Structure 1
């Protein structure tokens, strides 16, 4: 009973509940956050536009939970942002992808555990920018991805270089590519 706040008096409240109780407190909250994240991915992937706002609300709640447990500059938060942004790009929801990817675009540089994923994150961000109509900015981020990939393994370098070439080629085309096949 001594470890609980009530033992110190009825009016005492812990300022940092996560630090006080540790995994006993955070594990159920983290599990709830993971559940919300998966459901947000499900809504984006398998449901129509009507449920997109709901997925956005769930993901915002996941980010609050992640911030509470892991802090603002954690690899967990960066992975959440990148994965959800990539799922949104895959479903052609580029403006919403920009919202989440832009949250981590500057933070990723300060998280050591995320060093190897920076080129991929930048490519995802460039893809969302490109399809949102901000082509010059997209090319700039793709070039940054190529520069940062030089310290990575050859597979990542090849991916970043190919991505930049394809993006430059698409940017030079006068008309937008069509999804119609004739």
Structure 2
């Protein structure tokens, strides 16, 4: 990763006055296009893949490192695509889902909460809203915020009504399962007190 970072630093020097450029364009992404963005996007992609690798194949000790890489990916995404873009929301959803699969719910909640409101304003994300809400509900549920989790699962069902039957069925099944789990947890905890 250090070699990749050096390449990106050298690339950035061409466009930043602080790093030696003669003139700095305030809208370098728009004015330079792929010449500027491609090397940075490629670096962001490699950081993202490595963050996913750390979450999936390494233990808890490397979670902080994975989050640092993902935070850097988010900065790159904001710079290239904006805070409310399909790409940014997709990054948040995918990383949140990877964290959920490894039972790292606090971290999943951190990333999913960044996009939970933004996703509503990105037209390209319309079909992924129910799934995003289900992921968010899953993270909420496992950190003990069960009422909020159920609320987002219900919203996922409502928002899935305009989607294809496969997505509608997924959201409905998820809500049923979550309601069942919430009910069982309450019943079990009652017996222990």
So what's the TM-score if we normalise by structure 1? 0.90
Shift of 1:13: 2.2
Partner of 1:180: none
Shift of 1:22: 0.9
The counterpart of 1:28, out of the listed 24, 39, 50, is 39
Q: Where in structure 2 are the equivalents of 1:70-81 lying within 5 Å?
A: 70-81=81-92
Shift of 1:18: 1.6
Structure 2: any 5+ residue segments left out of the alignment? 1-13, 16-20
Q: What SS does structure 2 have at the residue aligned with 1:29?
A: helix
More helix by share: 2
Question: Distance in 2 between the 1:53 and 1:175 partners?
Answer: 34
**Equivalenced residues, count:** 169
After TM superposition, where is structure 1 displaced by more than 4 Å over at least 4 residues in a row?
Answer: none
Shift of 1:99: 0.3
The counterpart of 1:95, out of the listed 94, 106, 109, is 106
Q: State the Cα deviation string for residues 7-62 of structure 1 (Å, max 9, x = none).
A: xxx85322222222110010000000000000000000000011000000000000
Partner of 1:137: 148
Q: Where in structure 2 are the equivalents of 1:142-161 lying within 5 Å?
A: 142-161=153-172
Match status 1:66 vs 2:77: yes
So what's the TM-score if we normalise by structure 2? 0.85
Partner of 2:29: 18
Question: Which range moves more in the overlay, 17-26 or 60-69?
Answer: 17-26
Partner of 2:57: 46
Match status 1:175 vs 2:188: yes
Over the aligned positions, Cα root-mean-square deviation in angstroms equals 1.4
